[in-house]
Amino acid sequence: MSYDPMYRPGVPLASYPPPLGPMVDPFPPSVEEWPRRRGPSMGGVIAVSVVTALLAGAVGGWLGAQAWQSTRPGIPLGAPAPAESSPAQDQAAAALPGVPSAGVDYAAIVEQVTPSVVSISVVGGNEEGSGSGFVIRPNGYILTNSHVVVAADPDGEVTVSTSDGQKLPARIVGRNASYDLAVLKVEATGLPVVTIGDSTALRVGDAAIAFGSPLGLTGTVTTGIISALNRPVTAGDGGDETSFVSALQTDAAINPGNSGGPLVDASGAVVGVNSAIATLGATVGSIGLGFAIPIHVAERIAEEIIATGRAATPVIGVSVDQTFDGPGARIEEVFPDSPAATAGLRSGEIIASLNGRAVNGAVELIVAIRENAPGDTVTLVVEREGVGRTVQLELAAKEE
C-alpha cells in the first residue's frame, strides 16, 4: 500500500528525532528497506497537506552540496535573486542586534510573493486533498510536495487556484518521493514567478516567512526565523513514499495545508519548500517546529522533472546495520557493482563522515548523500577497528 503522508486517527506518525535504522541507500531498489522503527511516543514528523477520506469522512492532515543553477537556455526555474540588495534586505541589515526580523517590510514581501503562490486541490480514489505550491516558470510550471499530489497519481484530478481567483486543471509532470517534491503544469502563460534565493547562505536567526493555504485558508502568511540548518528529518510510514531531507527548521507557523508552499527570506526570495512539522502525540498543528526542503535541493529535482519527467536520487550502494548506535553508520552490506563496491568499501566498516560532515546515524548518512547529485564525487572517511581511511566515490542514480 502506498504511503499516505497525512495524519489519520489510528495511523502512527513518522518519528522525530528520526529513527536510526534500518537504513538502506538503495542500490538496486529491489533490495531496498526503509526505517520502520518508531521514535519517542511524545511526537512525530508529518507532512502537512490536508487529506479527507471520502468513505471514512476523516480529516487529517530533502542534491547538490551547493546551489545548483541550470545553465540550459530558456528554462530558468524562477527569476534570479537580485544582485543588489532590496529595500527589505537593507531594512533587515539595519535590524536591532539580536532581533533579525525587526526591520523586515513584511507587507512588501507579501505583495511581492503572494501572486506566485497557489492552492492545490486533489481528488483521487477515495481521497480528497489540498496543499500549496508556487509558480516557477511563467508558462505554467508549479513546484509542490510529492505527498500533496500522490493521491492523484496517475488517474486523479488536480486543480490549481491562483491568487487572482483562477481555477486551472493541472497535470503531474513528475514526482520524486525520496525528496518529497513534484512539479505540476497548468495551461497558462504570463504567470508571475517567484524569485529563487540561496538556501546555502542562510544563517540561524535569519528571518523566515511561510506562505500557503493551511486548512484551506488561502493567502495565509506566517513569520519567524530560521531555527536550525541541516536538520535530518524523515517523514513517512516506511513505504516507497518515505522522504529523507536535510531540512531548514523554522518557527514560522506551518500547519496542514502549508505543504508545498514557499518559505522566503527577508528579500522575498524563496529559500525552502514547506514540507513537514513536528507533533506532540496526536496533536496535529504548529508547535513552532516546521521543516522546509532547501531550495538548492529542490531546484535540481524540479529542473530534472521538467526536462525528463523524473528525477534521480543519488546512492552509494550500501545497507547499514540498524542495531549500531553510532557514532557513524556501520555498513551491513555492500551491493555488487555499486559505487561503494568499486571504491572498496566492506561490510563492518563505519562511515564516519561524508564531505567533511560528521555522520551520526543512518538517517544522517542518507540526507548527507542526498545533498549531492548523481555523478558527483564525494569523500568518505571510513573506519575499521579504530583505523580510518579516506575514499572517494562517484554517486550512482536511482531513478524515480
The mean pLDDT of 202-215, rounded to a whole number, is 96
> Does 339 lie in the same domain as 205?
no
Contact 349, 53 (CB under 8 A): no
d(CA 191, CA 184): 14
Percent of the chain that is helix, strand, coil (3-state, to 5): 15, 40, 45
Q: 140 falls in which pLDDT band (50, 70, 90)?
A: very high
Tell me how far CA of residue 241 lies from CA of 75, 114, 147, 198, 268, in angstroms: 28, 29, 8, 27, 31
d(CA 43, CA 38): 10
> Does 114 lie in the same domain as 225?
yes
d(CA 64, CA 300): 7
The CATH number linked to 383 is 2.30.42.10
The mean pLDDT of 331-356, rounded to a whole number, is 94
User: What is the number of structural domains in the chain?
Assistant: 2
> Does 379 lie in the same domain as 249?
no
CB atoms within 10 A of CB 90: 14
30: pLDDT strictly greater than 60:
no
Asked if omega into 327 is within 30° of 0 (cis), the reply is yes
> Does 395 lie in the same domain as 364?
yes
pTM over 0.85: no
Q: 332 falls in which pLDDT band (50, 70, 90)?
A: very high
53: pLDDT strictly greater than 90:
no
Query: Domain ends where: 311, 337, 358?
Result: 311
As annotated, the active-site residues are 147, 180, 259
Beta carbons within 8 Å of 297's beta carbon, 6+ residues apart: 62, 63, 64, 179, 199, 245, 246, 370, 371
Beta carbons within 8 Å of 56's beta carbon, 6+ residues apart: none
> Does 305 lie in the same domain as 344?
no
Q: Report the b/e string of 136-153 with b at 16+ CB within 10 A.
A: bbbebbbbbbbbbbbbbb
pLDDT at 239: 65
> If you search the block for the grid coordinates 491568487, which residue do you land on?
163
> Does 189 lie in the same domain as 216?
yes
Nearest CA to 6 out of 174, 255, 250, 245 is that of 255
> Does 331 lie in the same domain as 243?
no
> If you search the block for the grid coordinates 528520526, which residue do you land on?
18
- 339 alpha carbon, distance to own chain's centre: 25
> Does 181 lie in the same domain as 83?
yes
> Does 319 lie in the same domain as 267?
no
Query: Domain ends where: 258, 285, 311?
Result: 311
The CATH number linked to 90 is 2.40.10.120
Q: Which amino acid is at 192?
A: P
> Does 374 lie in the same domain as 255?
no
pLDDT at 281: 73
Mean pLDDT, all residues of the chain = 79
> Does 328 lie in the same domain as 292?
no
Poorest-pLDDT segment among 21-30, 110-119, 130-139: 21-30
Query: Domain ends where: 288, 311, 334?
Result: 311
113: pLDDT strictly greater than 90:
yes
> Does 299 lie in the same domain as 239?
yes
Q: How many Cα atoms sit within 13 Å of 361 on the Cβ side?
A: 16
Nearest CA to 180 out of 313, 58, 67, 51 is that of 313
Q: Using one digit for the tens of pLDDT, what is the confidence trace for 299-312?
A: 999 999 999 999 98
Q: Which residue range forms the structural domain that includes residue 241?
A: 1-311
